Amino acid sequence: MMGATSLKNENVVRVRVPAPASAGVILSYKCSAACRHCMYACSPAWKADWITESDLYQLLSSLTGHIVPSPWGRERVSLSHGLHFTGGEPFLNFKLLVLAVQMAAELDIPSTFVETNCSWCVSDAVTRERLEHLRRAGLKGIMISVNPFYVEYIPFERTERCIRISQEVFGPNVMIYQIEFYRQFKRLGLQGKVSFERYLTLAATLGGTIAVEMFLMGRAARALKPYYRSYPASVFFGEPCQPPFLRDWHNHFDNYGNFMPGFCGGISLGSWRELDRLIRDGIDLREHPVLRHLIAEDIRALLDFARGYGYQESPQGYVSKCDLCLDIRLHLVKHGNFPELSPLAFYEQLALDEGSPSEGQRAREEAV
């Protein structure tokens, strides 16, 4: 495998894509929420372009030989092993989710789980019925999302209900991401939906801070800017992508055919319809100039490249390397044709967010 540094050499024309040892399958980007931190800029505004049954089968079939089970075994789950179904909110199309679980079980894919924001957990009966249905179909576990951005949309009682009943249905195969926020919300006695601004006020009453993983990428890089310090682009020139851009774990495969590196919304390594070829022959960097710089993790070279398309550094600065990367890509999609910047709807959604700042507020108020 070629290192990021060696890719700065322009004579390198091809780079291999690691075979995916774990994977997230995005059934669609449509969501019941529009969280400020969402890496994929999901929201209720996305078209309901659910992955088709034939695409789902083709994707799962091509992944099946590669997926590595959890270190605790095929029947157990862990965040960066096995295969998970995600979105958007996968429970918005429960029929498709059940079908996906059945297909994965028939293909003997290990350590499968679903990721959810719990918006659908409106009663104990509905929650239990759906979770048991999925377990019977072959699902091994669940990952339940908890942080201050979800609770703006999802009443905390639904999250608590989902955790309680999931633990009865899936036993130890329940992951709460992030448990630190769950414990903090319990200490605060949160109820209903809580705005981020109110959460900050409440959290301050507890004193101290909690250390949690936070990626300032996707919508987070734009919507959370007021809460972070900004820096000039040059501050990020030597910084590697974290986690590494090309890796074999926790990559995502979407309903539009994109094989997406890690958590990098709007970037495609190619079509998962050609997964075997991508793994065997790699990516032709001459045809994908943006990917060349991204794979080299060389943000300075990407900035220079984008200047050729009229990009100008933001005088306001950037909160993270991913913020700079995204700002450049938002410019490039408007001024060139780069198939590696996909899906285009990701960039359109971000532009929509910014075109109507009241949109997020309205969605929070209307959220189930």
Residue 254 and residue 56 in contact, taking contact as beta carbons nearer than 8 Å: no
By C-beta, is 292 or 321 nearer to ligand SF4?
Answer: 321
Q: Least Å distance between CB 245 and ligand SF4?
A: 5
The distance of closest approach from Cβ of residue 355 to ligand SF4 in the complex, given in angstroms and rounded to an integer, is 18
Shortest distance, CB of residue 87 to ligand SF4, whole angstroms?
5
Q: How far is the CB of 73 from ligand SF4 (least distance, A)?
A: 28
Identity of the residue, 35 or 278, whose beta carbon is nearer to ligand SF4 in the bound complex? 35
Q: Which is nearer to ligand SF4, 34 or 104 (CB)?
A: 34
Compute the least distance from the CB of residue 38 to ligand SF4, in Å.
Answer: 3
CB closer to ligand SF4, 145 vs 251: 145
Six-digit token pair at 1?
């495998």
Start-to-end CA span in the chain (Å): 46
Residues lying near ligand SF4 in the complex (CB under 6 A) are found at 31, 33-35, 38, 40, 42, 87-89, 117, 145, 150, 217, 241, 245, 264, 294, 321-322, 325
Residue appearing with tokens 């984008």: 306
Closest to ligand SF4 by CB, 68 or 217: 217
Instruction: Find the shortest distance in angstroms from Cβ 244 to ligand SF4.
Output: 8
Q: How far is the CB of 205 from ligand SF4 (least distance, A)?
A: 26
**CA geometry: angle at 97 spanning 99 and 218, to 5°?**
140
124 close to 161: Cβ distance less than 8 angstroms: yes
- Which residue in 74, 55, 64, 53 sits closest to 23, CA to CA? 64
Amino acid at the residue 138: G
Residue number with CB closer to ligand SF4 (72 or 94): 94
Whole-angstrom distance, CA of residue 325 vs CA of residue 319: 11
Is 315 buried (19+), middle (13-18) or exposed (0-12) by CB count in 10 A? exposed
Nearest to ligand SF4 of 22, 117 (CB atom): 117
CB of 122 to ligand SF4, least distance (A): 16
- Answer for the pair 241, 229: CB distance below 8 angstroms, yes or no: no
CA distance 279 to 66: 11
CA distance 281 to 302: 24
| Cβ distance to ligand SF4 smaller for residue 56 or 294 | 294
CA angle at 175 for the pair 169 and 177, rounded to the nearest 5°: 140
Which residues, in sequence order, are bridge partners of residue 271? 258
Q: 3-state class of 309 per DSSP?
A: coil
